[in-house]
Amino acid sequence: MIIDIEKIPQEGLKISREFEFPSTDLVEESAVFLRPLHADLHIKMIGDEIIIKGTITTCVSFICSRCLVPFEFPIDSKFDLIYFPEERDEFKEQLEKDDLGRLFYHSQNIDLEEIVLEQLNLSFPVKPLCSKNCQGICPVCGKLIQSGECVCVKEDSDPRLDKLKYFIKR
């Protein structure tokens, strides 16, 4: 959905709609949409700055990085972005850590689908886990540790550190 910035009304533009993206556009390869992505956006132009405030909601299925079990991950993310015209180069040199929400537009159009997809990908966890306490799978037999099925005896030592044990025993 392309927005012509010259056609943004004085009071701003409110958009509430569903977006459809193929799972291949997501940064997490195992992610699959369980519900359509819904976005509520408010776009306002103040001078030559474009302010976009939005909320995206959906539910995605991930595969846990530790136990490899699929799990649901609800997304309810808010974002505030400020777009400046490319001509205002004085900001590019002065950007600091707090200014990560500031972006630059190059033409008279802004692609909302691109913005929504970017914000969706930024809301994903770096390492998806089904729970904080997920113990993963047994490195010996491959069974789920938290299910209690694994009864493997594991050596707690690292073979690279075995020579250090020799010094500790003395």
Interatomic CA distance for residues 110 and 11, integer angstroms: 18
Q: Tell me the one-letter amino acid at 21.
A: F
Other Cβ atoms within 10 Å of 37 Cβ, number: 19
pLDDT for res 92: 52
Buried b or exposed e, range 63-101, using 16+ CB within 10 angstroms: bbebbeeeeebeeeeebebbbbbeeeeeeeeeeeeeeee
Which pTM value belongs to this model?
0.72
Q: What is the mean pLDDT of residues 35-40?
A: 92
Closest by alpha carbon to 81, among 3, 166, 164? 3
Ordered DSSP codes for 130-146:
S-TT---B-TTT--BTT
- For the chain, the first-to-last Cα distance in angstroms comes to 72
Is the pLDDT confidence value at 99 over 70?
no
Q: What percent of the chain has pLDDT over 70?
A: 84
* pLDDT of res. 95: 55
